[in-house]
Amino acid sequence: MLTFAFRKVLTLVGTMIGIAALTFVITNVAPGDPARLVAGPNATEDMVTTIRTEYGLDKSLPEQFVVYMGDLVTGDLGQSIVTTRPVLEEVLRYAPATLELVFVAMALGIIVGVPMGMLSAVYKDGPIDHATRIFSISGVALPAFWFGIILQLTFAVDLGWLPVSGRLPLVTRPPETVTGLLLVDSLLAGRLDTFWTSLRHIILPAIVLSFPCLASILRVNRAEMIEVLQSDYIVAARAHGIASFRIVAIYALKNALLPTLAMIGLRFGWMLGSTVLVETVFDWPGIGLYAVSSALSSDFKPVIGVTLVIGFFFIVANTLVDLAYAWIDPRLRSA
Amino acid sequence: MTGPLLDIQNYRLDIATFDGPVHVLKDINLTVNRGDTLGIVGESGSGKTVLVRSVLGIGPKASKVIEGSIAFDGQDITALSEKDWTKIRGIRISMIFQDPMTYLNPLFTIGQQISDVIAAHEKAAGHGVSSKAARRTRTEDLLDQVGLPNPAMLFDQYPHQLSGGMRQRVLIAMALSGKPDLLIADEPTTALDVTVQAQVLDLINSLVEKLNLTVIMISHDIGAIATIAKRCAVMYKGEIVEQGLTADILSAPKHEYTKRLLAAVPDIDTASAKVAAEPAVGASPKPGILLEAIDLRKVYRSQSGTEVTAVDSINLSVATGEIFGVVGESGSGKSTLARMLLRLIEPTSGDIIFDGKNISGLTGEPLRLMRRHMQFVFQNPHSALNGRHTIGDAIGEPLRIQTNMSRRDIEARVEALLDIVQLPKMFKYRYPHELSGGQKQRICIARAIALNPRLLILDEPTSALDISVQAQVLDFLQELRAELDLTYVFISHNLAVIRQICDRTIVMKRGEIVEQGETERLFLSPQHEYTKALIESGRKTSRAANLSAPAGS
Amino acid sequence: MTTPVELSRPLTFRERHESKIRQWRLYAHMFGKSFSSMLGLGLVVLFLLLAALGPWLAPYPEDTVGAFNMANKLMGPSAGHWFGTDEMGSDILSRVIIGARTSLWIGLIITGVGAIIGVPLGIIAGYRGGWVRAVIMRITELFLAVPGLALALAIVAALGPGITNCVVALSLVWWPGYVRLVEAKTLSVKEELFVESARSIGAKTPWILWHHILPNCMSPIIVKMSMDMGMAILSAASLGFIGLGAQPPAPEWGAMISVARTYMPDWWWYSLFPGAAIFLTVLGFNLLGDGLRDILDPRSRDR
């Protein structure tokens, strides 16, 4: 088990290096002279040359790559042109908001998705099953940005139940930063009213973000449950007189959970990617919104920085899923 | 103690399919009294599994009872609610399944699975569930009862850590945990090796005696049935065609099908009446050695770096025109050997001489061209044919690959080949899934002989087939050999089949040859311990042994 | 099956293809039985019709090529403009209809390029094994390690906004999914006896790949392509919404919502209808793919 974990961590490091290389390639496929891009349209030839030397753009590509990787290792993700501050600093400032949103959405997806998947597998081809099928496929098909707008119109503008956007109202002083997650920090600071406010703010974006994820967790869990319920060992358990509820909720679920876990890992990454949409719609001050606004103002370093960070979170999540797999499946543990 | 324990009256069952309802069970009448041991014999598709699963209320989903009843201890159980079933299933009727590999949940320990069953029974019986420790003791007792060593350690192990035979014992322990009135055994030995089969049958017999069990055992293997069951029913296409005392049925079968079935069972103790494989009538121009293997080895390296020797230093020579047998249990390396002889698997070291030419170093085009002279017939005809190709495509494929024949010539040759394997020409438009197992195996043979090879390597060609079909295919193979002047290497785990058709035989164990020689000599005076044990186990499940001794002891 | 009597006359077409005919009838039967599959098929057919006949169906085709009529701007749904008008006074219905064609092209190109790159790589990786597989799969996993939308965003940011760059970026992130799918399938098909059987009769590798491996990988590929048509359209619209895909006056659904968002909440119809078009199209392709999976999946074929 320990060597298994060790191998996984090694893979994690390897993949991270790979992603760094990938971002380097993307940076260099851009047409045009990067130095001129940085310098802006009104720069003189001299300024461009200075910038080229300053940024090390006059070196050969392999040399640039070595420098780039060296910078990454020391945590230097470059500077934002718009704010002229280090990208790493800004990303770290925005990341907790995104993680908070993703965690809440993921929890929502699992808590609703897994039981619904089980239900529709048990009552396969029944009305519940048909309803969840339409529901889940709709979930995957819904454009997140449009769904967000519709929810805003309905629940925030028309009904006025929930705030339209943002993380906290401007007038509210945020709680002291410990984890960066407002829901946790406000509880730690003992400020229930702030907790309540931030919860109200997170509901709509979390629903939008979790909907497709919930749908695919539901579908995978349903499909796996159906297959497991037909398997020989479930037939045997039935034949030995074990109660149906126990068969479904304990025996079959544990087996079906393995592929569902894989889907959860996959969807975690997908959610991180989708934050660029959801955060744009809800003005949620996370790394997604940061990446989008940077991309729109041709500020390239932050975009790459966010890509790296999102990749990192995703790989960590997948590594955790792999470890959970081994924890559940004895066959993997002994391998 | 009134009336029979199980009483099935005029039972009919249909299964709905796209092509309309299929009558799976037709007018079944069967009674089982307390203390009975009943065997149900039938081939695949006879409906025997559906029948016993209906007794347990776990029959196929789209099925419908047309008429009749199943009464268990006086209570009709055909329309029982799920709740009422919990009082019967696993407690009063329990079941042992066919394939121990798939009937245990891989993610739970042996101990937990058995104690859960115990807990379920206690709950259903109405008195509270006993403590964890008490259940653990009971579980270990059960494991001990079925002859498993070290139950305390076994309790915390997972199914994948156990061998097939051990898992079957675990399943038996599970079935016994409720002290059932009726035990149903569904092909309990089919998936096991010969030596393990005999042990499991012994175990069931001793349990029947010790616990005074009532047993229904279903199997396609008459030998296994005869070992256990005093009474026996023969099923054919959803009907019971004959029932009575097992000894009577074996010695004097009445129904046509039973006679055919019994005649088809190869007998381990009968010398074959095969046409002596003398270098036939001098017809073959160059008698002598066709295939030779010299010091053949295959070593697999697993990911963790440990080496497993699948085949170790095999030397053999196959004479032109003979049937050369290779016998061994699973894991003996016989399939690996067969594939190496054809260069489908690369040997780690050693030489293969075919017709005086060393083929172990051939690569690319020469190897490809050499393949036309030696062909392979696979164990499982169901997966040896590509489901997306018609039969015509399948038989024509070797011709398209190896020759320049025109489309029309290939069509003609395909029809001729279908003729040789005694199938209608129409079949070339059909797809494999529309054919029966025996028909598919004929197609595979047609494919193998399409290029007029000199050597056929047959890897358990009949073990996926029903007994009556097996007999037909074996006969056909022998005819074919005489007709086309072929040499066979015949691989099997079934000693009776080997004895029936092979001239010379090697016995393999863990990748090595433990004994070799003339087949008759091998069976009459085996030298090696393992050969003796193998023949003894084979004999145990063979019908003849039980005919001479009183059935079921 | 019973042994048919040998016939001397040549067989009719129907007799020769009896097996295939039954198979297709079975497919049609299973597909037709499912409401959601038929709904998906209906939506996809509707979408294809709109894409094919758009210019003739749109009530104000000139509104989609830059004509404007400020007098009509931002009018609600009415008899003259079923879906209302936008800030330039253009008819939203016409723009939504014309947008179907753009979306169809986007979907076809991204899915097609993804499959053309991914399927051969997947088959080669799965069949060859060894270092070839290691190299292909490492690169594939690298692409899969960054969420698709985030990677596409980075690529578009590097290339510059625009619909062409958006399609290029999405195609670049789309192929790894096919490699992984096909590789896994190839690995299992490769173990089938019929592949070994083909080798034993001396078939060369290309023959085996083409005649044995590929046909047996087709079902999941078809299902994935159907679903991906929807997902690719959705992703392109997403980039359009962010402002990095199709640029506003172009009648692309995502870009339309991007502009419409600034006219929220009073001019709600402006974002409602293009969004509904995206939703129904993606839903259609997903339901279709789901229905196809049900009938092509061998596990449900036995019935």
Tokens (6 digits) for B517: 């020689």
Using CA atoms, how far apart are residues C146 and A307, in angstroms rounded to an integer?
A: 7
Choose the closest CB to B380 out of C16, C193, C201.
C193
**A265 and A162 housed in the same domain:** yes
pLDDT in tens, B285-340: 456 888 888 888 888 876 666 788 888 888 888 888 888 999 888 778 888 888 88
Residue B278: band (very low, low, confident or very high) from pLDDT cuts 50, 70, 90: very low
Asked whether A315 and C143 are in contact (CB, 8 A), the reply is no
In a domain, residue A1? The reply is: no
Choose the closest CB to A233 out of B82, B105, B177.
B105
In a domain, residue A78? The reply is: no
Q: Between chain A and chain B, how many beta carbons pairs sit less than 8 Å apart?
A: 82
Residue C119: band (very low, low, confident or very high) from pLDDT cuts 50, 70, 90: very high
**A104 and A45 housed in the same domain:** no
**A66 and A197 housed in the same domain:** no
Residue B274: band (very low, low, confident or very high) from pLDDT cuts 50, 70, 90: low
Number of domains chain A is built from:
2
Statement: residue A186 has pLDDT above 80: no
Note whether C11 contacts B385, CB cutoff 8 Å: no
Please give the span between the terminal C-alpha atoms of chain C, in angstroms, as a whole number.
Answer: 17
- Cα–Cα separations (whole angstroms), residue A158 to A92, C199, C261: 36, 68, 16
pLDDT in tens, B303-313: 666 788 888 88
Return the pLDDT at B279: 42
**A250 and A102 housed in the same domain:** yes
**A303 and A255 housed in the same domain:** yes
Return the pLDDT at B24: 84
Question: Which residues from chain C sit within 8 angstroms of residue B368, using beta carbons?
Answer: 202, 204
Return the pLDDT at B284: 45
Question: Which residues from chain C sit within 8 angstroms of residue A307, using beta carbons?
Answer: 146, 150-151, 153-154
**A212 and A286 housed in the same domain:** yes
**A128 and A261 housed in the same domain:** yes
In a domain, residue A18? The reply is: no
Over residues C172-184, mean pLDDT: 89
Question: Which residues from chain B sit within 8 angstroms of residue C23, using beta carbons?
Answer: 431
Residue C21: band (very low, low, confident or very high) from pLDDT cuts 50, 70, 90: confident
Nearest CA of chain B to the CA of C144: how many Å?
Answer: 25
- In CATH, which superfamily holds the domain spanning B6-264? P-loop containing nucleotide triphosphate hydrolases (3.40.50.300)
In a domain, residue A8? The reply is: no
pLDDT in tens, B414-468: 998 888 888 888 888 888 888 878 888 889 989 888 888 889 999 888 877 787 7
Question: Which residues from chain C sit within 8 angstroms of residue A144, using beta carbons?
Answer: 238
Query: Is the ipTM beyond the 0.90 threshold?
Result: no
Question: Which residues from chain B sit within 8 angstroms of residue C185, using beta carbons?
Answer: none
Classify residue A155 by its DSSP letter.
Answer: I
| More confidently predicted of B251 and C14 | B251
Please give the span between the terminal C-alpha atoms of chain B, in angstroms, as a whole number.
Answer: 26
pLDDT in tens, B495-506: 888 888 888 899
Return the pLDDT at C159: 80
**A263 and A121 housed in the same domain:** yes
**A44 and A131 housed in the same domain:** no
- Name the domain boundary from A73, A105, A122: A73
Over residues A297-321, mean pLDDT: 85
Note whether A141 contacts C230, CB cutoff 8 Å: yes
Q: What pTM did the predictor assign?
A: 0.81
Statement: residue C72 has pLDDT above 80: no
Residues 6+ apart with CB under 8 A from B357: none
Note whether B384 contacts C207, CB cutoff 8 Å: no
**A62 and A91 housed in the same domain:** no
DSSP C164-225: HHHHHHHHHHHHHHHHHHHHHHHHHHHTSHHHHHHHHTT--HHHHIIIIIHHHHHHHHHHHH
Residue B220: band (very low, low, confident or very high) from pLDDT cuts 50, 70, 90: confident
Residue B272: band (very low, low, confident or very high) from pLDDT cuts 50, 70, 90: low
Note whether A311 contacts C146, CB cutoff 8 Å: yes
Contact status of B90 with chain A (Cβ, < 8 Å): yes
Residue of B nearest to C3 (CA): B424
- The per-residue pLDDT of chain A, averaged, comes to 81
pLDDT in tens, C197-235: 888 888 888 899 998 889 888 888 888 888 889 889 988
- Name the domain boundary from A42, A73, A104: A73
Return the pLDDT at C115: 92
Residue C112: band (very low, low, confident or very high) from pLDDT cuts 50, 70, 90: very high
Buried b / exposed e across A266-303, counting CB within 10 Å, b at 16+? bbbbbbbbbbbbbbbbbebbbbbbbbbbbbeeebbbbb
Over residues A223-235, mean pLDDT: 84
Best mutation target among C149, C239, C270 (most A Cβ atoms within 10 Å) is C149
Choose the closest CB to C201 out of B379, B402, B434.
B402
Statement: residue B280 has pLDDT above 60: no
Residue C123: band (very low, low, confident or very high) from pLDDT cuts 50, 70, 90: very high
Using CA atoms, how far apart are residues A269 and A266, in angstroms rounded to an integer?
A: 6
Residue B255: band (very low, low, confident or very high) from pLDDT cuts 50, 70, 90: confident
**A66 and A122 housed in the same domain:** no
Question: Domain spans of chain B?
Answer: 6-264, 273-280+290-545
- Domain hosting residue A68, numbered range: 32-73
Least confident of A21-35, B73-87, B484-498, C220-234: A21-35
CATH number of B273-280+290-545: 3.40.50.300
- Name the domain boundary from A73, A106, A141: A73
pLDDT in tens, B365-423: 888 888 888 888 888 888 888 888 888 889 999 988 888 888 888 989 999 888 888 88
Return the pLDDT at C56: 78
- Residue B89, φ and ψ in degrees, nearest 5: -60, 125
**A39 and A147 housed in the same domain:** no
Question: Which residues from chain C sit within 8 angstroms of residue B447, using beta carbons?
Answer: 197, 201
Over residues A176-189, mean pLDDT: 75
Please give the span between the terminal C-alpha atoms of chain A, in angstroms, as a whole number.
Answer: 9
Question: Which residues from chain C sit within 8 angstroms of residue B431, using beta carbons?
Answer: 19, 23
Nearest CA of chain A to the CA of B154: how many Å?
Answer: 15
Nearest CA of chain A to the CA of B199: how many Å?
Answer: 22
